[in-house]
Amino acid sequence: MDHSLPLATIRTQVSVPLRFPDGYATTGRVFTFDGLVDAREHLAFGLGDFAAAVRRQATGEPPLVRPHSECLTGDVFGSQRCDCGPQLREAVERIAAAGGFLLYLRQEGRGIGLYPKLDAYALQDAGLDTYEANVALGHQEDERDYAVAAQMLVALEVRRAALLTNNPDKSEQLRRYGVTVAGQVATGVFLSPANAGYLAAKASRGAHVADLPTVG
């Protein structure tokens, strides 16, 4: 791990039964942390046989890990302007099957916050794409830093992981912070008429790896 990052420690862990609106249910082991560099309340959900995945990481299939950025509108209210809610639902089931961790990172709006994200939505309604809108508000296109994700993984004794993501920046940053990324596993593409422009912008400007079908 990059020596510029202090070590984080596990603060609390507790089992929480999870149930999604479509009826899918599982149990997650929720971890909280002390010592995270941004002092925010990030969570890790251990899903499936995550302990076995951690034990075999050096010689076998490593834990499947998704760093998921919080999206109140998509994750909680089912907003169709993004694909965050369906990606979260997919990630929980896939990680539970493989064994690993969902890192729920408090990085609303690619790091700019909830109110600015909604301000960006208004600019998108006026014709800007999701990245242009952030810049017009005085922010970077993407302000997320995955140092806390690296800290969380080390605290969980994960030093080698397969990442469930279409975003190569997550893999690149975690590698820079000393986590061995054994592979990048593509997420599904959850396309709708309401989010087609958003997904196209992520693919073209954010370098997200996604094969976008045509909206019928």
Residue from 94, 110, 144, 160 carrying the catalytic annotation: 144
Residue from 75, 119, 129, 142 carrying the catalytic annotation: 142
The pLDDT value recorded for residue 115 is: 98
The pLDDT value recorded for residue 196 is: 61
Query: What separation in angstroms does the CA of 63 have from each of 58, 69, 185, 203?
Result: 10, 19, 12, 26
The pLDDT value recorded for residue 189 is: 79
The pLDDT value recorded for residue 205 is: 62
Q: Does the pTM exceed 0.75?
A: yes
The pLDDT value recorded for residue 118 is: 97
Question: Catalytic site residue 144?
Answer: yes
Longest dimension (CA), the chain: 52
The pLDDT value recorded for residue 216 is: 40
Question: Catalytic site residue 22?
Answer: no
Residue among 133, 131, 207 nearest 165 (CA): 207
The pLDDT value recorded for residue 188 is: 85
Query: What separation in angstroms does the CA of 45 have from each of 90, 100, 161, 190?
Result: 14, 8, 15, 23
Query: Which tens digit of pLDDT belongs to each residue from 93-133?
Result: 999 999 999 999 999 999 999 999 999 999 999 999 999 99
The pLDDT value recorded for residue 56 is: 94
List the chain residues with pLDDT less than 50: 1-3, 206, 212, 214-216
The pLDDT value recorded for residue 199 is: 63
